[in-house]
């Protein structure tokens, strides 16, 4: 039953946007390769295996591609091909460069050690900004268009999910301005779970992660569980507050988990 539902979902997804469907699958296959390499190579960057970073980016980009492939199908008078190829080119470039740098044991982000690395980091930043702005535009379309065939609570989940995604995607600029994702240390990676969040100091990646994945979390919660517009809006507000609180906590130099909680989870 679950397998049949999954196959039906992917069949529908492919029909909605074949380009982003295959790009998303490519990203997930790349993530499998990366996680395999974490177990077979010993190259480390900032204390953790170099392949964890491309793994995380491959999963995140793959989820984004498939999510937007699903959402954009609902829009009227929207150039799906232009958006799809923009995402594939911009985020594909980012993922490939991160993987190349991992294979060389070199930083991809915050690398100003040579003019070429500085240029590539700047280009990655431009790519991320362009995709975020394109996503913001799609969010505006969801706020301004009507969707009589969709449940109101689901539409609001998409709207608010995109809004939170855009806000916390731009939070990446805060990390860029500091040339570090840590507050209280320089790019600390304590290898907390697979995400690598710091166990000792504030980590700006926590809010970035939580906020950006509102894009998936809110629509799923609303469609399958909440089934109510008011409840969806309240949960979205609470979710946004959660992401904001982790950002404030990170800026205060505090890790996401206490030492006691870390010991329990490990």
Q: How far is CA 130 from CA 51, 100, 124, 166, 252, in A?
A: 26, 22, 10, 11, 30
Give 255's DSSP letter.
Answer: -
Q: Is the pLDDT of residue 264 over 70?
A: no
- The pLDDT value recorded for residue 167 is 98
- The pLDDT value recorded for residue 260 is 54
Which one is predicted more confidently, 132 or 198? 132
Q: How far is CA 129 from CA 84, 124, 148, 171, 263, in A?
A: 16, 9, 32, 11, 37
Residue 262: band (very low, low, confident or very high) from pLDDT cuts 50, 70, 90: low
- The pLDDT value recorded for residue 5 is 74
**8 A C-beta contact, residue 214 and residue 236:** yes
pTM, two decimals, is 0.94
Residue 112: strand, helix, or coil: coil
* pLDDT, tens only, 30-67: 999 999 999 999 999 888 899 999 999 999 999 999 99
* pLDDT, tens only, 166-195: 999 999 999 999 999 999 888 877 666 678
Q: Is the pLDDT of residue 6 over 90?
A: no
User: CB-based contacts of 103: which residues, under 8 Å, 6+ apart?
Assistant: 43, 50
Distance CA 251, CA 228 (A): 35
| Residue 36 tokens, joined | 């395999």
* pLDDT, tens only, 69-106: 999 999 999 999 999 999 999 999 999 999 999 999 99
* pLDDT, tens only, 115-165: 999 999 999 999 999 999 999 999 999 999 999 999 999 999 999 999 999
Structural domain spans, the chain: 1-145, 163-266
């Amino acid at each position: 039953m679950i397998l049949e539902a999954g196959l039906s979902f992917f069949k529908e997804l492919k029909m909605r946007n074949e380009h982003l469907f295959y790009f998303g699958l490519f990203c997930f296959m790349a993530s499998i390769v990366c996680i395999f390499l974490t177990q077979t190579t010993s190259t480390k960057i900032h204390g953790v295996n170099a392949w964890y970073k491309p793994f995380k980016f491959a999963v995140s980009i793959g989820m984004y591609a498939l999510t937007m492939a699903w959402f954009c199908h609902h829009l009227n008078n929207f150039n799906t091909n232009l958006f799809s190829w923009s995402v594939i080119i911009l985020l594909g470039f980012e993922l490939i460069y991160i993987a190349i740098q991992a294979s060389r044991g070199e930083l991809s982000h915050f690398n100003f050690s040579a003019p070429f690395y500085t240029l590539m980091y700047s280009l990655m930043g431009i790519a991320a900004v362009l995709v975020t702005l394109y996503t913001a535009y799609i969010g505006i379309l969801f706020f301004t268009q009507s969707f009589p065939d969709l449940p109101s609570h689901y539409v609001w989940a998409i709207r608010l999910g995109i809004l939170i995604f855009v806000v916390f995607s731009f939070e990446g600029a805060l990390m860029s301005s500091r040339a570090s994702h840590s507050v209280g240390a320089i790019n600390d990676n304590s290898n907390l779970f697979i995400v690598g969040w710091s166990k000792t100091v504030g980590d700006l990646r926590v809010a970035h992660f939580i906020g950006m994945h509102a894009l998936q979390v809110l629509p799923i919660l609303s469609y399958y569980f909440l089934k109510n517009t008011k409840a969806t809006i309240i949960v979205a507000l609470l979710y946004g507050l959660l992401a904001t609180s982790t950002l404030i906590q990170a800026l205060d130099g505090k890790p996401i988990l206490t030492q006691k909680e870390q010991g329990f989870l490990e």
